[in-house]
Chains A and B, each alone.
Chain A
């Protein structure tokens, strides 16, 4: 017997008898002998719960938990304890996609609340029920732009995260779309270069704010420029920052996308996180993924349902907007609870504390004369510097003190050879920041 299989010998015999057969193997009579497995898997033997825990603990012990002073798309923000308590509830954790609204109002309601919050944070009209992550949300946003404009070329800002750029390129290349990179100037999108690249082939432009270097970009006049060319404006970026920064809506963007990991989600070695995708109402039918809408039940009670499903793969098949079939629902709940707990004030305070911590570190690093700011642009919680020190030296010295920070960007591109990244959230104490500084001050 095994704890997840309730079948006793008597149960099995009784069931076989009902089926008028003598062994379970007879149920597999349709399987040709040549393909039937005739041996056990080449895997370890079963483990007790204690043994599983011990084994995975030994793997865990081969990792080192570090004090995080870098970002690059994943931010070490504070997680209110409420979130785990709620997201661990089996009603949320173990349920399926809410296809039966009568027994899924819990899921549907938090999706509706999430969509409302994303709408307000992005300043656009409508959000879907989420995408896998920020990078795939960006790729899908590019598909949307091609579909809305009926054009074939995407312009990608080279100040985006290299991973997002890679994912967008993979998606576009396979689908048969074209792309061109828009150069950067002083660490931000070069709008002059961009205006020279706009032609009748351009479906849309995708930019990131704050960008890969942590810098805040300014998009004055950009929406008009794109819309005059009948091109779509996509703004990608960290959702938490939109609690304080100018919204995609205020910038005139048609689509907003990015990752919600910054809403207190653990780093999780990169996943799961959750991608958000929002747009203006006019384009809602071009949006991929699930959407939840308000309605009533037969007694007039308020109710929520998945709607506009005729866009999706299970109805449209080969003609669907996208092949996506799930959302990151549990992380939709995570985001919604985070934004409820932090609320209107908290989201600003988190950004403000991170801003202060990051700017203190920035000033102190420049004072050492070993670090320089090649860009001189405004930033929020993440910044990128040049240094006279060896990147390996920094990495090793910080690691010896249990710190991950000053991440070298040289691996991403030859153009980034001398750049290193720092990010500081509200979680870092003065003592931790000073420790980082003292290590770096001691290097030469």
Chain B
């Protein structure tokens, strides 16, 4: 059974969004997605300063037997990436909600309204 954390926002593509403040969010993949992939061996992240766009790819995660594109739930600019995941991609399996991938400065806050609540996300699993 996969975990769904209350208080976060979710996308249909199994990414989570955590609001840090009005402008900034963290993005990662859900526990469900991490379990589906199996042992993650590689996380490919964008560069700081890159623009991301809602519903488009910003990177990829790879396990031994599968690979999946990371699809951004929001639009904006990448402020930070989680460098730890480059050396220790297994963190994604250990705690998917702690293993954030990118920090984004939002360019369109209204996009958050299109995302799912924890309850809504749980319903699609």
Contacts and interface: CB of A to CB of B under 8 A. Distances in A.
A310 B65 contact: yes
B124 interface: no
A315 B44 contact: no
A315 B42 contact: no
Contacts of B44: 285
Nearest to B68: A310
A310 B40 CA distance: 11
Interface in A113-172: none
A321 to B, nearest CB: 11
A305 to B, nearest CB: 9
Contacts of A307: 64
A316 interface: yes
Interface in A291-313: 307, 309-311
B48 interface: no
A309 B69 CA distance: 15
A373 to B, nearest CB: 50
A285 B42 contact: yes
16 contacts: A285-B42, A285-B44, A307-B64, A309-B64, A309-B65, A310-B42, A310-B63, A310-B65, A310-B67, A311-B67, A315-B65, A315-B66, A315-B67, A316-B67, A319-B67, A319-B69
Interface in A56-98: none
Question: What is the predominant secondary structure among interface residues of chain B facing chain A?
Answer: strand
B62 interface: yes
Contacts of B66: 310, 315
Interface in B18-76: 42, 44, 62-67, 69
Contacts of A315: 65-67
Interface size class of B (residues with CB under 8 A): under 10
Nearest to B67: A310
A126 to B, nearest CB: 15
Contacts of B62: 310
Contacts of A319: 67, 69
Task: Rank and list the top 9 A-B pairs by shortest CB-CB distance, nearest first.
Answer: A310-B67, A310-B62, A316-B67, A315-B67, A315-B66, A310-B66, A315-B65, A310-B63, A285-B42
Interface string A247-283: 0000000000000000000000000000000000000
Nearest to A314: B65
Interface in A306-332: 307, 309-311, 315-316, 319
Nearest to A305: B64
A404 B124 CA distance: 71
Contacts of A285: 42, 44
Nearest to A310: B67
A310 B41 CA distance: 10
A309 B63 CA distance: 9
Contacts of B64: 307, 309-310
A310 B42 CA distance: 10
A309 B44 CA distance: 15
Contacts of A311: 67
A307 B63 CA distance: 11
Given A307-B64, A310-B63, A319-B67, 15 more contacts: A285-B42, A285-B44, A309-B64, A309-B65, A310-B42, A310-B62, A310-B65, A310-B66, A310-B67, A311-B67, A315-B65, A315-B66, A315-B67, A316-B67, A319-B69
Contacts of A309: 64-65
B95 to A, nearest CB: 22
Residue among A285, A310, A315, A316 with the most chain B CB within 10 A?
A310
B40 to A, nearest CB: 10
B42 to A, nearest CB: 7
Contacts of B42: 285, 310
Nearest to A320: B67
B38 to A, nearest CB: 11
A53 B62 CA distance: 51
Nearest to B61: A310
A229 to B, nearest CB: 18
A286 to B, nearest CB: 10
B45 to A, nearest CB: 13
